[in-house]
Amino acid sequence: MNLNSRLPDVGTSIFSVMSKMALEHHAINLSQGFPDFPVSEKLIDLIHVQMKAGHNQYAPMPGVPALRKVISEVVSKTYHHEINFETEVTVTAGGTEAIFASIAGLIHQDDEVILFDPSYDSYDPAIRLNGGVPIHINLSPPDFSIDWDEVQKKINSRTRMIMVNTPHNPAGSVLSYSDLKKLESLAEEHDLIVLSDEVYERIIFESKSHESVLKFPSLAKRSIAVFSFGKTFHATGWKVGYTVAPETLTREIRKAHQFITFSVNTPVQLALAEFLSDPENYLHLGKFYQQKRDFFLKQIKGTSLKPLLCYGSYFQLLSFDGASQKSDNEMAEWMTKEMKLAPIPVSAFYKDQSDHKLLRFCFAKSEETLRSAGKILRRI
């Protein structure tokens, strides 16, 4: 067969590669971003109740109404932004499908989409698979801030969308009020769609505020905000997320969504609707993960690796500049095989494979896991 691949330069994701390597070499896995502590027993019991009650068939394509209604109430309380749950909320198979469906529904052949590296590895392929052209702009450590003048220079008549991610994976940085105002101005000036990956909205530290696109009325009119229950409730394997967007954008997202997954599993949606109705189940998440970040940083005191500032997400970047001449890929492989601790090389999040000698570590782990990881890192 003469197969002409649509993604000839894409192999197995770095997350799968490093997790497989960790398993093969019996290494502690701080590479892939998933918690190793239990999901709420209350939430699991709620799912069981829904299953036993017979709610096991297809959900409505946009999502169970009860869940979309609670989402609209939470958005209103959190961001002071009123939305119509019938026409502006769509439940998806995780944040990744939310992003893909948004791009599939709104990007035409040869439309340009601006994104910022380091960026999550699904962004670029999703754009290309849907005929778009990714325009990468590199962000640099230690703060990974956006140069909005550079963004302005990249915008032309073919630019259709800008993608942002805050809190940021892998950098742990957050966009400021000023950043969102600049984004709002550019989007309005050039009539752009904004796709905002906000799956770590609740995981933010140091009393910083999450500046969602939904907080800015003019920006919200042309933006898609993407969220994830998997991140908020420590259940990444359930793959349940959602989009919040104006009706005109939501209509196009749903056209794609119905042919990608059609609908998300029913009992989990119904359980989440009840669980989400109690703010105590999500309001303290930032404090919870800040304690884990601080515990991890305490465990690595004495290592030659230097932590960068982390204001959100559940990832900590460590620099090994000065500690080794290896590339970050080589360092990650050596650490996994020889030291029995698996990180992610940050160059995997760059199109041009920039080597800033940074490794990403997930601290969404139990204290026992983080203590063991710290013991290893203190030997480097």
Query: Residue 164 belongs to a domain with what CATH number?
Result: 3.40.640.10
Q: Which residue(s) pair with 161 in the sheet?
A: 113, 193
Cα separation, 306 vs 320, in Å, equals: 7
Residue 353 above 80 pLDDT? Answer: no
Residue 178 above 80 pLDDT? Answer: yes
pLDDT band at 10 (very low <50, low <70, confident <90, very high): confident
pTM of the entire predicted model:
0.96
Residue 134's domain comprises 41-280
* Residue 2, in any domain of the structure: no
* Residue 67, in any domain of the structure: yes
Does 235 share its domain with 293? no
Does 196 share its domain with 306? no
Q: What is the pLDDT of residue 68?
A: 98
Q: What is the pLDDT of residue 198?
A: 98
What value does the mean pLDDT take over residues 171-187?
A: 98
Helix (H) or strand (E) holding 69: helix 65-79
Cα separation, 125 vs 133, in Å, equals: 10
Does 120 share its domain with 103? yes
Q: What is the pLDDT of residue 11?
A: 82
* Residue 160, in any domain of the structure: yes
How confident is the prediction for the chain on average, in pLDDT? 96
Does 250 share its domain with 217? yes
Residue 1 above 90 pLDDT? Answer: no
Among 216, 246, 280, where does a domain finish? 280
Does 126 share its domain with 245? yes
Among 264, 280, 296, where does a domain finish? 280
* Residue 3, in any domain of the structure: no
Does 321 share its domain with 338? yes
* Residue 6, in any domain of the structure: no
Cα separation, 43 vs 365, in Å, equals: 19
Q: How many CB atoms lie within 10 A of CB 142?
A: 14
What value does the mean pLDDT take over residues 58-73?
A: 98
Tell me the one-letter amino acid at 277. S
* Residue 197, in any domain of the structure: yes
Q: What is the pLDDT of residue 220?
A: 98
Q: What is the pLDDT of residue 75?
A: 98
In the chain, the number of structural domains is 2
Cα atoms in the Cβ-side hemisphere of radius 13 Å centred on 157: 0
* Domain CATH for 346: 3.90.1150.10
Does 103 share its domain with 80? yes
Q: What is the pLDDT of residue 13?
A: 87
CA 366-368-371 angle, to 5 degrees, is: 110
Does 102 share its domain with 171? yes
E strands, the chain, where?
28-29, 89-92, 112-117, 133-138, 159-165, 193-197, 223-228, 241-244, 306-307, 315-319, 341-342, 344-345, 358-362
Q: What is the pLDDT of residue 3?
A: 84
Does 224 share its domain with 341? no
DSSP 8-class letter at 9: T
Q: What is the pLDDT of residue 66?
A: 98
Does 70 share its domain with 155? yes
Does 84 share its domain with 204? yes
Cα separation, 248 vs 58, in Å, equals: 25
Does 267 share its domain with 338? no
* Residue 4, in any domain of the structure: no
* Residue 8, in any domain of the structure: no
Q: 11-15, 120-124, 153-157, 217-221: lowest mean pLDDT where?
A: 11-15
Among 280, 315, 330, where does a domain finish? 280
Per-residue pLDDT of 257-295, as tens digits, reads 999 999 999 999 999 999 999 999 999 999 999 999 999
- Can you tell me whether residue 81 is helix, strand or coil? coil
